[in-house]
Amino acid sequence: MRIHKEGHLIILMALLLLGGVSFAIYWFLPLFIALPLVSAAFIFFLLIVNFFIVPKRVSPATANQILCPADGKVVVIEEVEETEYFKDRRIQVSVFMSPLNVHANWNPISGTVKYAKYHPGKFLVAWHPKSSTENERTTIVIEHENKKEILFRQIAGAVARRIIYYSKENEPAQQGTEFGFIKFGSRIDVFLPLDAKIEVELNQKVTGCNTIIASF
């Protein structure tokens, strides 16, 4: 278990800000008022730290299995038209992440990054049907050694307004390694070939880098 590198600066800033506010509260307000407020500030700080804690995980997947890229709950499993990259029919599996989930994102398969693009956009709630195409997002495509491609998309939400991704086109991707991080809740869409065997169900709670969502 570790603190994710994307949280180091935020945690430091929160510590300084909340520490300063707590000191002022304790110094200037009566004790019976100050103690609950300082306690609330401390709990809030612990929640921020907890948000950036990433457990150590080892992928159980084989080469032909597709890992879930994020913690959360499966909110969509349906056949759709993917319009950005494939421009054809795909099976979409979407995972919604609450602010309490681990927010690191893991590569679902090994292969070569064929496409990686950031899109500025809106901040609709992450479960809104149009969030996949209108919200701030990144789109990444990995080509498997079997020549099949998987597209996955990080989507910002009403709270999550900072998407981090590390994937670069034409570079190798290793299944189960981190490709990014979404700060403070959102969702990930995964677009699979129509012949992929889906291994999850709607409303199932899933774990990034551990749960197998599909297989070739």
Residues with catalytic function: 186
Strand (E) or helix (H) holding 198: strand 197-198
Tokens of 14: 């929160």
Tokens of 43: 């709990």
Other residues' Cβ atoms within 10 Å of the Cβ of residue 90 = 23
- DSSP characters over 144-187: -TTS-EEEEEEE--SS---EEE---TTSEE-TTSEEEEESSSEE
Sheet with 178-182, side-by-side order of all strands:
104-106, 178-182, 163-165
Helices 8-28 + 31-51 axis angle, to 10: 180
